[in-house]
């Protein structure tokens, strides 16, 4: 019901995304397999498109994870395994998956809120990540404690900093170690981020001078009008203005590099989507015969038309935005 309600809200924006396009947007292969391993999370962030939280029960099973591993082994063109959630660490099958996936020798990344590693039940993930060469992509919406906590919940910032310090001591974020700690910035409100380069310089200066922290790169991500963020936009009276800002900043060149063109997103139940946002809106991939990881068909998926809706303005505004930051 929530998916239908959200799609109806997106439908209300008067300039449909499809009107901006000359034709369908086609995938150009599958290089990234993104696994949303569950919606359970230690945080309940106010902008979360997954609407994740501690009460969520959806969790990818060990069998689905095994099937994902088979698909990755069978398809050498999949060069990146991208684990996301919720908090991926809260899925008990993920530890084993990481160890098995690392043996295949592809780029292995996990999107973590880091605060979860401050909990002693999950603290061992730091070593698991380091031992298996996992690239960590950690969300930090702002370098200011009050603003970061405003979006992610009270106490988040201090936990994040504490865990990041520990990761730095292990070599994460330090040059020459091969252990990558990349951060994600997204606005704490109804506006778009400035240029990635500018924000990255500010993060580097502030985190180093105030907390002694190092990181490799900063990804700037637009907040997508999906999930709790869409609810916030509507409730705060910002929906029309935000969509207009996105639509006015539409950049056709960004379409060449949007992540959905080279990615397939696997939901907790094995259903395949073009991206995590389509997943939350209930818009599965177009090829009906390959809509589940159990029937993954690279040939059909590699040139599929992407399912589009008005939230796609979020990835094509200005320099563009993706789960790996701006596209310029």
Partner 1 sequence: MTRNYYESGDLADFPNIAEHAQEQGKKFFDYYGASTSAGKLSEREKSLIALAVAMTQNCPYCIDAYTNKCLSLGIGEDEMMEAVHVGAAMMAGITLVHSTQMRKIIKKKAM
Residue 328 interacting with partner 1 (CB under 8 A): no
Stretch that binds partner 1, among 6-14, 138-146, 152-160, 304-312 (CB under 8 A): 138-146
Q: Which stretch binds partner 1 (CB under 8 A): 36-44, 119-127, 188-196, 307-315?
A: 188-196
CB-nearer residue toward partner 1: 180 or 220: 220
- Does 199 bind partner 1 (CB under 8 A)? Our answer is yes
What is the rounded CA–CA span in Å between residue 73 and residue 103?
Answer: 10
Q: Is 236 in the site for partner 1 (CB under 8 A)?
A: no
Q: Which is nearest to 83 in space by CA: 103, 108, 117?
A: 108
Distance separating the N- and C-terminal Cα atoms of the chain: 36
Q: CB of residue 327 vs partner 1: minimum separation in angstroms?
A: 17
Q: Looking at 121, 248, 256, 328, which residue binds partner 1 (CB under 8 A)?
A: 248
Nearer to partner 1 by C-beta: 233 or 263?
233
**Residue 240 Cβ vs partner 1, minimum distance, rounded to whole Å:** 11
- Token pair in block for residue 267: 């939901």
Tokens of 102: 């690392």
Is 144 one of the binding residues for partner 1 (CB under 8 A)?
yes
**Separation of alpha carbons 109 and 115, rounded Å:** 17
Pick one of 18, 26, 104, 194: the residue that binds partner 1 (CB under 8 A). 194
Q: How many positions of this chain bind partner 1 (CB under 8 A)?
A: 16
Please tell me what DSSP assigns to residue 35. E
CB of 187 to partner 1, least distance (A): 7
Residue 68 to residue 16: CA distance in whole angstroms: 34
Q: Which stretch binds partner 1 (CB under 8 A): 32-40, 98-106, 136-144, 280-288?
A: 136-144
- How do 181-185 and 272-273 pair as beta strands? unpaired
Q: What are phi and psi of 109, to 5 degrees?
A: -130, 150
CA–CA gap between residue 275 and residue 312 (Å, rounded): 10
Given a contact cutoff of 8 angstroms between Cβ atoms, the answer to whether 17 and 309 are in contact is yes
- Name the residues that contact partner 1, by CB under 8 A: 142-144, 147, 185, 187, 189, 191-194, 198-199, 201-202, 248
């Amino acid at each position: 019901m929530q998916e239908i309600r959200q799609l109806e809200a997106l439908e209300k924006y008067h300039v449909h995304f499809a009107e901006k396009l000359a034709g369908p947007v086609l995938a150009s292969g599958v290089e990234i397999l993104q696994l949303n391993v569950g919606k359970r999370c230690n945080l309940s962030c106010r902008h979360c498109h997954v609407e994740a939280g501690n009460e969520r029960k959806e969790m990818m099973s060990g069998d689905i994870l095994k099937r994902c591993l088979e698909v990755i082994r069978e398809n050498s063109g999949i060069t990146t395994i991208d684990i996301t959630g919720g908090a991926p660490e809260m899925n008990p099958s993920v530890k084993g998956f990481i160890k098995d996936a690392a043996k295949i020798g592809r780029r292995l990344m996990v999107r973590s809120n880091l605060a979860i590693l401050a909990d002693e039940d999950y603290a061992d993930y730091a070593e698991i990540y380091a031992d298996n060469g996992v690239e960590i992509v950690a969300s930090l919406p702002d370098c200011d404690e009050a603003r970061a906590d405003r979006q992610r919940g009270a106490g988040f910032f201090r936990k994040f900093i504490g865990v990041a310090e520990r990761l730095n001591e292990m070599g994460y974020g330090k040059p020459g170690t091969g252990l990558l700690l990349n951060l994600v910035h997204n606005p704490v409100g109804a506006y778009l981020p400035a240029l990635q380069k500018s924000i990255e310089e500010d993060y580097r200066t502030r985190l180093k001078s105030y907390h002694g922290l190092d990181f490799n790169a900063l990804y700037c991500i637009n907040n997508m009008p999906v999930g709790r963020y869409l609810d916030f936009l509507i409730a705060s009276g910002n929906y029309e203005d935000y969509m207009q800002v996105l639509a006015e900043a539409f950049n056709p060149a960004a379409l060449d590099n949007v992540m959905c063109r080279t990615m397939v997103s696997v939901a907790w139940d094995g259903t395949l989507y073009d991206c995590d946002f389509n997943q939350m809106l209930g818009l599965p991939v177009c090829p009906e015969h390959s809509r589940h990881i159990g029937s993954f068909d690279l040939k059909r998926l590699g040139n599929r038309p992407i399912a589009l809706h008005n939230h796609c303005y979020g990835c094509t505004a200005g320099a563009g935005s993706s789960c790996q930051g701006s596209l310029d």
